[in-house]
Structures are given as structure tokens and as C-alpha cells.
Structure 1
Amino acid sequence: MDTLDIAALANLLQEAAVQEILPRFRNLGEDDVRIKTEAIDLVTEADEAAERVIRAGIERLLPEALFIGEEAVAADPALLGKIKDADLAVIVDPIDGTFNFAAGLTLFGVMMSVVKAGETVAGLIYDPIGNDWAIAEKGSGAWLCKADGEQEQMNVVPAPELSQMIGIANTGFFDLETRRKILANLADVRLFTSYRCAAHEYRILAQGHLHFAMYNKLMPWDHLAGTLLMQEAGAYAARFDGTPYLPHHTDGGLLIAPDKDAWQELREKVFTV
């Protein structure tokens, strides 16, 4: 694989949404939603059907690629371990923000990343409601691509002082004492929230409307595309210990900020895990 057909990949995400996701939005029956690991971790018929469409498309477009879908991994967790050694892998979240989707909220998206020899080389985040894509290829910047063909480059904004920072803080996967400590420290920033949808959190970060994001649980379908998008938009991203976040990582936390100095300040003063 020398070049990626990004347009074909983007169209594939749209196809899955049009065929399988949007017709089910606010139209799910009781049997169409199931609990996976806990009450806030759901899967719907739309997730599974959309993943089948995307997988079939990847088999046509990139037949040599290892396909890693969130729902495929739910059925076969051993798939995760194959990312590290794969020459080429395509990693997909058919609906990011399933809890929101099942609740009838418009904060959900379709995410795809392409990993070559252990490095994320492309990331796509499609918003079915807005019908647009946030797309990044390594070394080519971050772009908001609209259905009419218009493109707008995405860039982070400079970090203000700590007391004026606003951002995403997902604290739900820490142990209780660590969570209490971080939540207390977060009083030092202006505002923090969680949309329960990494797809939209990364998009709004890359557009310069927020300053930071912190995640503890790192599943590749949730964070590879968004981390590349942020880096291509000018942000600094690293795990809590300062090491790079790589496609095979599932722990170690992730902190993203407009620059390294802001990252270090947030790490030392707020996210002291």
C-alpha cells in the first residue's frame, strides 16, 4: 500500500451510516439494544450492522489489511493483540457514543484509523448528523471536509493560563481514590466535561473550541484517529508517563494539550495519577 484512497474510506463510513445507522436512530426497539460489560456500555443492532458494511468495504478496498472492529473484538478479544505486528490494519468504531445514540442524542460518530507497521497514518471521524468528516493523514494536517467538497483546516488554539482552560476529563475508569484526587484538582481549570463520545470530543478540540483532553482507558478504535487528528492540528499528545501513544496501547492514560508546556502543567497540577 503506497497511497490511501481517503475519499473511498470516507465514503464507506457515510455508506454505513446511511444504510444502517441513521434509519435506526431514534427508532430502536427494546431488543435492538444490549448491555456489553455494564449499564453504560451498550451495543445496538446499528453498531453491528454498520461494522459489517464497513468490514465488507475494507475487504474490497484494502484486502491485505487486518480488520479490527470494536464489535469484532467484543466477540474475539485476541484480535487486539494482533495490531502490534500487523503490516497494515484498519481499526473501526462503527458507532462511537453508542449510549448517546441509544438515548436519541445526536452526539455520536463513526471512527476509522489506518495503522501501517505500528504507526497511525490516517484517521477519519464522520458525523452522520452533520454529514461531514474530520480527516487527518500523517504529515498532511487536519481537515474538516464537508459533503459539498469544501475543506477547512483544523488547528488547536494556544493554551491560556491554567485557570482559564476548558477541556475533556474522562475520570470514570480510575480507582475511587485517584478519581477523587483528580476531581479535586480539576477545580483549578475553568471548566471540564465529557460528551461520552470521543468522536465529537476530538473534533471540537481540533477546531480550537477546547484546550485539553484526558482519557484513562485507551481502546484503539476510540483514540487512534482522534490523537492523529489532534497532532496534525498542532497539539501535543502523550501517555501519562510522557511516552508516545501507540496503536497497541490500551493503558497508561492519554493527555492532549495545545503544546508541551501546557501538557506538563496539566500533568503536574491536575492529572497527578
Structure 2
Amino acid sequence: MKSKVDVTALADLLRRAAKAEIMPRFRRLDRSDVRAKTEATDLVTVADEQAERMMKAEIARLWPNALFVGEESVAVDPALLGRLKDAELAIVVDPVDGTANFASGIPAFGVMVSVVFMGETVAGIIYDPMGDDWVMAEKGSGAWLRRPNGEAQRLSVAAPVALDQMVGMASTGYLPKDKQPQILANLSKVRFLASYRCAAHEYRTLAAGHVHYLMYYKLMPWDHLAGTLICQEAGAYAARFDGSPYLPHHLDGGLLIAPDKASWELLRGEVFTV
């Protein structure tokens, strides 16, 4: 399914915004350039704000009929998030995913965008400013690693393995407090648990076949729409904890992604027992 947006042009915009507004500020932020939003670990920097401002203006020029939903725009106008469900065409932007890493000088952050058409995610792009490449997908066309010189490599998730051999990432901080102890104990059943504090790189890692699962509980669209589609196009099985499809307007209900449905069901039953 081709989106209503030129995905190549959108990918180029992410790269230009990163080079103009993000990378010049990496490891060069003053204290005044960083502030907390909802809590101490929920940060925003001048790079987030300026990159989103640049992308918003360019998207308005190229696709004037698209609803723009940016993480920082929603922070200013929360009502904007509610318009996503009914928008015919929307472009959802995370200008700097992994802001805490970026502000700490850790080179694990990314720029993410997704295209939503009639309530369905139809395209997703994750740009890595450090590696200067994209992983991207349009619905029905596979997932691809693309480089600025035109090189392209099709991505595929890892083959399924036994539970005690699974390596993956889980964001446990937003789980219900009464469920956290049991789930953390259950994670001893897998081989390895990690968190990059950056969904952009976690999704890239699963789509490229290097890990076997991802789990998130809080579902903000700029964090998860692009990566979920990319992983699905790379062959993954993704669903909310109740087994229902993850849709752009969902903000909770958990999200679990695995190489296939059998692995998903095993992880859901043995580990993520919310």
C-alpha cells in the first residue's frame, strides 16, 4: 500500500532537520537548553523543539492537508492528540527519540516519523543521525535499511528461539506498580533483558534480526507507530496485551512484538502477565 505522502521526501526531511538542528547541538547543550516536562526523566531540549519546528513548517508546505502531530506540539496543545483518530491523513513526528540519551551525550537517539491514513499506519521511517541511515517501510512493501548513497538492504526479523534463549528489550517503568515485581521476576526466564532508553534504536534492532522481543506499556504514537510497522514489514508479530491490533489512537494496553505469533504467545503467557 503506497502512502499519500512521498516517503523519500519525508526521509530526506528527517535527515536535513537532524543535520541542521540536532547534530550541531549534540554534546554542546547548555543547562538552559534542557528542561523536564512531566517528570525528571521526561526531557525536552532546544534540539527537539527546533527540529520539530523545521519539520512542521516543511510538512505544511509539502502536504498542507495533513494533520501534523509532533511530540512537542502535543506538549503545548494536548487536544491535538485526540484529532489523530479521525484525521484522513496525519504525519506523526518524534523529533528526537531518546532525548535523555541525547542530553547525556550518549549517541543512541533517532528521529522518527509515521504516516497515518484513515486510521491506519501506512508508512514509517526511523533515521539514525549518528549512522546517517534510515530504516523505513510502507505497508505491504517490506522493511528496508537505506543509505544516502542509494544502497538498500531488506530487513528480516530473527528466527524464533526457545524462551530461555530470547534476547530483547522491555520498558518496565510504566507497568502498573502492582504488576512490576512479578514481571521483573518473570524476565529471569529469558536469556537477556536490555533497554536502550530509545525506542528508535530498539525497533531498528528487532527489525534487523538482532533481538527476539520488544515490550512497551505506555503507547504514545510518535514513539511506536513507525517502529511497529517497520517490524511487522520485517516479519514480526505485534499486538497489544489483549491480542488486539495496535492502532494509531491507542495510548495504553501494552505492546508486545516478537518474531512470530507463537513466540508472542509464549512471552505473553510466561513473562508479560499483566
TM interval, shorter chain, is over 0.9
Q: What is the distance in 2 between the residues matched to 1:99 and 1:267?
A: 29
The answer to whether 1:248 aligns with 2:249 is yes
The residue type paired with residue 231 of structure 1 is Q
Q: How many residues were matched structurally? A: 273
TM-score, L = length of structure 2:
0.98
TM-score, L = length of structure 1:
0.99
The answer to whether 1:26 aligns with 2:37 is no
Counterpart position of 2:258: 257
Q: What is the distance in 1 between the residues matched to 2:234 and 2:261?
A: 14
CA displacement, residues 66-95 of structure 1 (integer Å, 9 cap, x when unaligned): 000000000111111101000000000000
The residue type paired with residue 46 of structure 1 is A
Residue 57 of structure 1: how far off its partner (Å): 1.1
CA displacement, residues 196-234 of structure 1 (integer Å, 9 cap, x when unaligned): 000000001000000000000000000000000000000
Counterpart position of 2:64: 63
4+ long deviations beyond 4 Å: none
Counterpart position of 1:111: 112
After TM superposition, list the pairs within 5 Å mapping 1:187-202 onto structure 2. 187-202=188-203
CA separation of 1:31 and 1:212: change in aligned 2, threshold 3 A:
same
CA separation of 1:83 and 1:236: change in aligned 2, threshold 3 A:
same
Counterpart position of 1:53: 54
Residue 20 of structure 1: how far off its partner (Å): 0.4
CA separation of 1:68 and 1:115: change in aligned 2, threshold 3 A:
same
SS in structure 2 opposite 1:152? Answer: strand
The residue type paired with residue 102 of structure 1 is A
CA displacement, residues 93-119 of structure 1 (integer Å, 9 cap, x when unaligned): 000000000000110000000000000
Counterpart position of 1:236: 237
The residue type paired with residue 12 of structure 1 is L
Counterpart position of 1:167: 168
Counterpart position of 2:156: 155
The residue type paired with residue 189 of structure 2 is D
Confirm or deny: 8 A CA contact 2:114 2:222 kept in the other structure.
yes
Contiguous gaps of at least 5 residues in structure 2 = none
CA separation of 1:47 and 1:151: change in aligned 2, threshold 3 A:
same
After TM superposition, list the pairs within 5 Å mapping 1:58-97 onto structure 2. 58-97=59-98
Residue 175 of structure 1: how far off its partner (Å): 2.5
SS in structure 2 opposite 1:135? Answer: strand
CA displacement, residues 38-67 of structure 1 (integer Å, 9 cap, x when unaligned): 111000000000000110111122110000
Contiguous gaps of at least 5 residues in structure 1 = none
Residue 2 of structure 1: how far off its partner (Å): 6.6
CA displacement, residues 115-170 of structure 1 (integer Å, 9 cap, x when unaligned): 00000000000000100000100000000001111000010011100000000111
The residue type paired with residue 158 of structure 2 is V
CA separation of 1:211 and 1:2: change in aligned 2, threshold 3 A:
closer
Q: What is the distance in 1 between the residues matched to 2:113 and 2:216?
A: 18
The residue type paired with residue 146 of structure 2 is C
Q: What is the distance in 1 between the residues matched to 2:4 and 2:59?
A: 15
